[in-house]
Structure 1
Amino acid sequence: MDILRFATAGSVDDGKSTLIGRLLFDSKAIFEDQLEAVERTSRDRGTEYTDLSLLTDGLRAEREQGITIDVAYRYFATPKRKFIIADTPGHIQYTRNMVTGASTADLAIILIDARKGVLEQSRRHAFLTSLLRVPHLVLAVNKMDLVDYSQERFEEIREEFTAFASKLNVADLTFIPISALNGDNVVSRSENMPWYQGTSLLHHLENVHIASDRNLVDVRFPVQYVIRPHKTEFHDYRGYAGQVAGGVLKPGDEVLHLPSGLATRIASIDTFDGPVEEAFPPMSVTLRLEDHIDISRGDMICRPNNKPQVAQELEAMVCWMADGVKLAPRSKLSIKHTTRTARALVRQLHYRLDVNTLHRDEGATSLGLNEIGRVSLRVTQPLFVDDYARNRMTGGFILVDESTNTTVGAGMIVDARA
C-alpha cells in the first residue's frame, strides 16, 4: 500500500482537529482507552458531546485555548491506503509550523467555516500550499449543519475561492461540503446534502492519484552514507545508502557521480528486505556500483545526460523561523541541502512578501519570525540543485544558526547559478 501524506490548515476554530478526530474515530483508528480518555475530558469540560478534537490537540496550552499550536502528526490506515496527517496551526503566529507540516505533504485540506466564508487566513493558507507546491488541494467547507446544509452558501464559497485560486499555482482543486462534528461527508456520504454529487472526504483521500506527482524523469540520488561492513564474508561490499529523490534506478543503468563527473553502472540495488529490480522516490535503498569511485556523504548520483545544476549562487523564497534573530543581508548561516552541508552568506533581500495580500515590500531590510521573502545566497561549496518547482527534494533546503545549531529558515530554490 502507498502512503498519502496530507496536511490540514484553516482559520482558528474552523474545526481542523475535530475533522481529524472524526476521521480517526469513524475509520476505527483509535483505541478504546483513547476514546474513554477523550470522553472523560469532554465531560470534565462540560461539553454535551464527545470532543474529538482532543485526539489531536495534545498540548495543555492547546486544550486551554482551544487552538492548535504545534504540528500534530497522526497515523491511520484503511484497506486501500496508509495515511500520515499533519495537523498544522491556523494562526498567523504559527506560519512556520504550517510550512513545516505542509513541506512534505502530497495533499492539503483547507477548512472554511460555512458561516464565515473565505477569510484572509484561508487565502494565506492557499498561498502557502501553492508556494510549497503541494500537488492536491481540498477545500472542505465545514459546519454545513450550522447553515442548514445550504447548497447556495456552498456555491458562494466555491465561486469566491475559485476566483482567488486562479491567481495561484494550484494544479488540482476539489470542494467538499462537510460537518466534522456530525460526520457528514467525512467518511460516508451525507443524506443531509442530496444536492452534492461528489465523494466523501475519506473516499477522495483513498483514491486521489499521487504516483505521478513525484519526479520520475530526473534521476537524483543524494548519498547519505557509505556502507562498508566489517564482517569477513562481506569484505568486498561497498554500498551507497540514501533516499531516491527523483527518477527510476535499475541495475545495469549508466549513472554519473558528482562532483567527480565519473560514469559507471549500477551493479545492484539493495534494501533491508533484499535486492530489488528498481528504485523510485521516496524509497530508501543502497546502491552498489560496478566501479570503485571515491564517493562520500553529500555527493550526488544522477544520469550522464540529465544532471542537476551545480551551483553556488542561489535565489530562493525563504520562510524565516527564528524568534529574536532576523535574516538580513550579510548574515552568515549553515545551509543543509539534501545530504550536503555548507556555509552560506545572505547577499541580498529582494523583497518581503505579505502572505495575506501577496504584496511585495521591496524596501524591506530584514525578515522576522514567520515572514517570507526572496533572498540571494552565496554558498561556500557547490550544491547539486534543481528548481523547487521541478523537484521538491533537491529544490528545498534549511538554514541553520551555527552558534546554536537550531533551524532558523526553510528555503525553496527559484533560480541557481554556478
Structure 2
Amino acid sequence: MKKALEGVTILDFSHLLQGPFATQLLADMGANVIKVERAGSGDMFRSMTFFAKWVGGSESPNFLAWNRNKRSIALNLKSGRVHAIIMEMAKQADIVVQNFRPGVLAKLGYGYEDFRAVNPQIIYCSGSGYGETGPYVDRPGQDMLIQGLSGLSFNTGRGDGPPIPAGAGLADQIGAMNMVYGILSALYYREKTGKGQKIEVNLLAGMLAHLGQEYVGVLNLGEDFVRPNSGIGHPGMQAPFGVYETSDGGYVSIAMSPFKTLYDTLNAPQLAVYDDLATLFEKRDEVWEKVNAETRKYTKADLLERLLAVDIWCAGVNSIREASEDPQVTHMGMITSYQHPRGGTVRVVAPAVKMSETPATIDRPAPLVGQHGREILAEFGFSENEIAALEQSGDMTVAEA
C-alpha cells in the first residue's frame, strides 16, 4: 500500500465545506472518493467565490480548496434509474458521506437504512448544522451562524464593538475533523467486528466541544466572559496576552511569559506596578495601552528579535499572503500547487499530516462537474450502452476536461 486508506471507497454526496473537507482529508490519505454531484450545476460551492473573481476565469477558489484528489460523477438523484445505479455502487463501497439538511437524502431513498439494506457493512456519516432532531432541526446550519450561537463570536472582538466572527469557516472545518475522527473510528471497529454503523456529526456540537475550556470556566467559576476594550487576545485572560502594534504598521502577538521579563526587555520599568496576577486582569485594558505604547517604539522585526532573544512567547501577526511566504511555512512545504484543466496552476495548502510509510500526496486536481462519470460507472461494471443511455436521458452530465 502506498497510502494508508488505499482500497477504501467513499460515495461522497456532500457539498459546500464540512463534508468536502472531510472527504478531501481521506482522499489525501488514499481513499477512492467519488463525488456525487447534482447533474448540471454540481456542488453549490462551484458558484461561490471571493473578491468577485474566479481562478482561471471560471473556477471557484472555495471549491478548489476542498475537492482535490476526488473524481466527480454528476447524477439526477430524483431518477429511479440513478437510484438503482447508486445502490449497485453501494454494494462495493465502504463509506457514504452527506451533509444535506436532515431528512433530505432519506426522502430520495439515500438514507442510512437504504444503504444498509444493500450493504450491511456500510459506514454512513451524516453531517448537519444542529443534529437530526430538536427545535433547530429545520434551521440552516451555516458556519457564521454556528459561531454566533455557540459563543465563539461573543468572545471575539473588542468590548466597545460588536461580537466578531472568525475570519475563516472554523465551525465547518471542526465539523470536518469530527467526521474524519468518526469515520476512522468506525473503520477500525468494522475491521474488528465486520459491522458498519451510522455516524452523526453536527456543527453546533463540534463547536461546543472545541470551546471546552471556555464552558468549563464559565459553568464552574461563576463568571461570564466580558470582552476587553483593548487588544487582549482572550476575554478570560489577563494582560499582556494579546496583540500589539509596531512602528511600521505591523502587529505582534505576545502570549505567556513573566511580566517582569517583558517590561525589562521593553525598557519600561514603570510597568512594574502592575506585576501581580489580579492587577494584570483587573487593569488589563490599561496595561495593554501602556505595553502597546512601548511596542510602538520598535519595528515588527526588531520587536520580535528582542522578545525572542529572552524567550518571550511571541509571533508576528501575518496576512494570508505574508503567512504563505513565512520561512517556517516555506520550510514545511505547506504551499504547493496542482494543474487544473481550466484553472491552470492552482496554488493550494499541502496536506498537514506527515506519515513515514504512507505519505499523503496530491494526485488529482479538484474535478469538473461529472468529469469522471463514465470511468466511474465502468469500474462498477456498467456497460457502455447503459452509460450512454444514462447520458442521453439527462440523468447524468459529463464535463469534458
TM range (shorter): under 0.3
Q: When you count strand as a share of all residues, which structure comes out higher? A: 1
Per residue, is there more helix in 1 or in 2? Answer: 2
Alignment TM-score, normalising by the size of structure 2: 0.26
Higher RCO (CA 8 Å, separation ≥ 6 residues)? 2
- Bigger radius of gyration among the two: 2
